[in-house]
Amino acid sequence: MSAQAVLYGIKNCDTVRKARQWLEGHGIAYVFHDYRVDGMAAVPLDRWADALGWDVLLNRASTTFRALEAADKADLNRTRGIELMKANPTLIKRPVLEWAGHLQVGFKPDQYAGLFE
């Protein structure tokens, strides 16, 4: 992994906006990967799932998840969860930050500060 941070998410997400503002306000260079604009091909969901667990990545509180058919939500496992997230990127908790071997899901200023100290 490069020394430059990569922030994954969706541009119009409020939490992603806060994370971007925090990074910019602290002078931290990063690349932003927008799932909708840049696609899912380069998103390492399998590696993230290995590191964190697929269920940590799946946003069960999202409008998208609640709108899924009951059959899609039933008997979720790693394979099915990753397939759903690839097909519906809004199911991935946001943002995901990768930096210097670290993965952070969600945004909390104190957690970001701890990563970049």
In tens, the pLDDT along 49-107 reads 999 999 999 999 999 999 999 999 999 999 999 999 999 999 999 999 999 989 999 99
Q: Are 80 and 45 in contact (CB under 8 A)?
A: no
CB atoms within 10 A of CB 5: 21
Q: How many domains does the chain have?
A: 1
Q: Are 65 and 105 in contact (CB under 8 A)?
A: no
**88 Cβ contact list (under 8 Å, min separation 6):** 64, 68
- C-alpha span between 111 and 32 (Å, rounded): 19
Tell me which of 97 and 42 has the higher pLDDT: 97
Q: Give residue 61's domain range.
A: 5-116
Q: What is the CATH number of the domain that holds 58?
A: 3.40.30.10
32 catalytic? Reply is no
Q: Provide the 3-class DSSP secondary structure of residue 33.
A: strand
pTM beyond cutoff 0.85: yes
Candidate list 6, 10, 13, 40, residue with the active-site label: 13
pLDDT value for 1: 37
